[in-house]
Structure 1
Amino acid sequence: MSMRLLVFAPTRRAPTETFVRANLQGLPFEIIAYFGDEQPLSDPGRLAYGLAILVSKALTRLGLLRLATLPGSLVAWCLIRRHQPDVLMTEFGFHAVRVMEAAAWSDTPLIVHFRGSDASAQNRLGLLKDRYRRLMVIVSGIIVKSQPMRRTLLALGAPNDHLIVSPSGADERLFHGADPGRSSPLLVAVGRFVAKKGPLQTIRAFAAMRQSLPEPVALTTKLVMLGDGPLLAEARQLVEALALGSAVILPGLADRQRVAELLRQARCFVQHSQVAPDGDREGSPVAVMEAQLSGLPVVATRHEGIPEVVEDGVSGFLVDEGDLQGMAAAMARLIVEPDLAARLGAAGKRRAAANFTARHHLEQIAALLRKVIQESR
């Protein structure tokens, strides 16, 4: 008989949060999932859950944090009684506190999957710190994306022996086939246009790089940045202000197939991740792992989990946050030295295939789920 997993997540609609959907599709369990942004009239359980999460959010905005836990937890407890799961999993720490008491009331083991801003943004950590401390008493296991995230949660009381670092990983069936030694001088960035991804810094570094290249090379070098978000309009204005013209292409969102195709055509992947003004940080960016698994070298920053994925000088180049000249120099090297790009890309592919595939990530999650189920019996 297969084990039953009951999942609580805030949403399944965000187009870039493909990793949540991948978990639901790839784990070897009977999975029942509820999403906080869905209130279908045809399904009383899902309707009740969605409405409870709306009430919880409203109470949180009013500062009634202890009370905010109750609506979601009460409905989640009823759903646990209905479905009789072997284990619970919540996506994102901020969503876990909305349902955590249901795990305690029902004595059902709970795994919480922290993914980034839920363990870094100061507005969230400051607001939810006491709720997180309560969560750490209840949880049976925790999944995080990077060592810095792990240290943050350990300081809040997370169980060290049931806390695993597991980057989401890339799909090896889709991301493959790049040949940076023979490709055109194309740089690619993939990600939401938000402060922690540093899209404006990437554009400025690209502009500086073009100025350092011989004119014939500079004229053929392109940057394509896939993604959408609140900084996209400002990014387009910056491209115009820097007179980059058609050298920088910002086509907006793309599906995973289009991302994979573009990575196969590229010389390298670039991303200037940084701490956002509100303290928000990356975990270990999935796009970086997708690029490496494809066979591309990566130019990025020493930010959160990125140095755990990219080995500086081995599979790419890392610079400090804000070091635009350093990033420009690293990109320029890969443009003018395709053999170097090929060598670093091959090293990154080997490392990603061994450590950062979606399959490896799901195996780690499944092992943790089985462990806590066994210990609860």
Structure 2
Amino acid sequence: MGRDPVPATPGIESVSVAEFGRPAVLSYTLTRRSEALATALAERGTALLHAHFGVEGVYAVPTAKALGVPLVTTLHGFDVTVTRAKMLASKKASWLNYVTWRNSLFTDGAVFICVSEHIRRRAVEWGYPPDRCVVLPIGVDVEAIQPAGFVGKPRILHVARLVEKKGTRYLLRAFAEVRRAVPDAELVLIGEGPLRDSLGALAREFGIEASVRFLGAQKHSDTLQWLSRSRLLCLPSVTASDGDQEGLGMVLLEAAACGKPVVGTHHGGIPEAVTDGSNGFLVPERDVAALADRLLELLRNEQLCDQFGKAGRRTVEERFNLRQQTDKLESLYRNLS
């Protein structure tokens, strides 16, 4: 279910407030209520609601109460790291409702799933009840994603929405240093966002535009292909000016599943997936020199890439296996029924 139109997926039944017309969408957006949605879900025998992000959890509270079913909410990142003041200043109806009605979610939500220990800590600081906050990272399909071999081309991959939090501007600065030492190095960026034009201008300013490829948004299958064709993945995330932080960094887990070394930052939940010097490198936020050094170390050392790649794959298999994580989620559902 959702507020916006839900794309049709074979074998999956869906319902959206948008199906009931613009007045229903407006009512749901402003008041969080839609009798048509509650009726449609009741007719389908809905036994539990699971919202992703605290914002959607707040919207789901009245519907869950109307149906008399438990509400599970997964907290991913911005929903507990962006400050309340910034949310109110945004004037977005959904964020205003989230801040205004958050106590109803704290009171009526059955369980709050946090994608990392970091997000659990931030959730408790935000006011979420500690006794109902559990850590359950989203898993990676280690059967579908298999390790790829070593890539001779010194290609660095960056997969991210082009926003402040992803630290792309610092990666471009570091890559300019990398190119001086490894002239045939290449940086491939997958993702779109409001910073696309300014980042392109930065690449031109540094004289690296010929070695930086902005591919825009790509299908997941194509992104995995680029992972297999890259030497390593870099996600140098930073705390944004509004407080936004990474919950975990799913692309880091997918890279590890692919057997690729990663370079990240001491930021958000990233250190829970990447152990510095074991399955990748971590550097301080916004430290361009340290970032360039670690990228160069991996580009120059095939044995280290292999070592980190194998360690990363083991980490994902043992701690972030999608099948195991799904079993845990289903167990949680059963305990609430």
Moved over 6 A (4+): none
Residue by residue, what CA displacement relative to the aligned partner does 1:92-116 show, whole Å, maximum 9, x if unpaired?
2112212312223432111112222
How many residue pairs get aligned? The number is 328
How many angstroms apart in 1 are the aligned matches of 2:25 and 2:121? Answer: 29
Q: Give the secondary structure class of the aligned counterpart of 1:224.
A: strand
Match of 1:155 in 2: 125
Say which of 114, 117, 133 aligns to 2:75. 114
Q: CA deviation at 1:166?
A: 2.4
Q: CA deviation at 1:247?
A: 1.4
The answer as to whether partners of 2:70 and 2:336 remain within 8 angstroms in 1 is yes
Say which of 100, 103, 113 aligns to 2:61. 100
**Counterpart code for 2:247:** G
How many angstroms apart in 2 are the aligned matches of 1:153 and 1:297? Answer: 30
How many angstroms apart in 2 are the aligned matches of 1:12 and 1:304? Answer: 30
2:334 corresponds to 1:370: yes
Residue by residue, what CA displacement relative to the aligned partner does 1:199-227 show, whole Å, maximum 9, x if unpaired?
1111111112223x2xxxx1211111111
**Counterpart code for 1:361:** Q
> Which 10-residue stretch deviates more, 135-144 or 290-299?
135-144
Say which of 99, 108, 124 aligns to 2:87. 124
List aligned pairs for 1:137-152, cutoff 5 A: 137-152=107-122
How many angstroms apart in 2 are the aligned matches of 1:306 and 1:83? Answer: 39
Structure 1 gap ranges (5+): 1-6, 14-20, 40-45, 60-67
2:98 corresponds to 1:166: no
Match of 1:209 in 2: 178
Q: CA deviation at 1:238?
A: 1.1
Distance 1:76 1:113, change over 3 A: farther
The answer as to whether partners of 1:178 and 1:266 remain within 8 angstroms in 2 is no
Match of 1:89 in 2: 50
Match of 2:290 in 1: 326
Structure 2 gap ranges (5+): 89-94
Match of 1:224 in 2: 188
How many angstroms apart in 1 are the aligned matches of 2:136 and 2:308? Answer: 23
Q: Give the secondary structure class of the aligned counterpart of 2:293.
A: helix
Q: CA deviation at 1:337?
A: 1.1
2:15 corresponds to 1:52: no
Q: CA deviation at 1:56?
A: 4.1
> Which 10-residue stretch deviates more, 192-201 or 102-111?
102-111
Supply the RMSD in Å over aligned alpha carbons: 2.5
Distance 1:104 1:282, change over 3 A: same
Residue by residue, what CA displacement relative to the aligned partner does 1:16-35 show, whole Å, maximum 9, x if unpaired?
xxxxx9xx99xxxx965334
Q: Give the secondary structure class of the aligned counterpart of 1:34.
A: coil
Say which of 259, 274, 291 aligns to 2:223. 259
Q: CA deviation at 1:157?
A: 4.5
Q: Give the secondary structure class of the aligned counterpart of 1:234.
A: helix
Q: Give the secondary structure class of the aligned counterpart of 2:183.
A: helix
Report percent identity of matched pairs: 27
How many angstroms apart in 2 are the aligned matches of 1:11 and 1:371? Answer: 31
How many angstroms apart in 2 are the aligned matches of 1:153 and 1:9? Answer: 24
The answer as to whether partners of 1:183 and 1:267 remain within 8 angstroms in 2 is yes
Distance 1:143 1:341, change over 3 A: same
The answer as to whether partners of 1:170 and 1:293 remain within 8 angstroms in 2 is yes
Scaled by the length of structure 1, the TM-score of the pair is 0.79
**Counterpart code for 1:47:** F
Residue by residue, what CA displacement relative to the aligned partner does 1:22-71 show, whole Å, maximum 9, x if unpaired?
xx99xxxx9653345xx3xxxxxx315x74343343x4xxxxxxxx33x3
Q: CA deviation at 1:351?
A: 0.4
Q: Give the secondary structure class of the aligned counterpart of 2:51.
A: strand
Say which of 152, 157, 162 aligns to 1:193. 162
2:322 corresponds to 1:350: no
Scaled by the length of structure 2, the TM-score of the pair is 0.88
Residue by residue, what CA displacement relative to the aligned partner does 1:110-152 show, whole Å, maximum 9, x if unpaired?
1112222222222338843452222011011111212222122
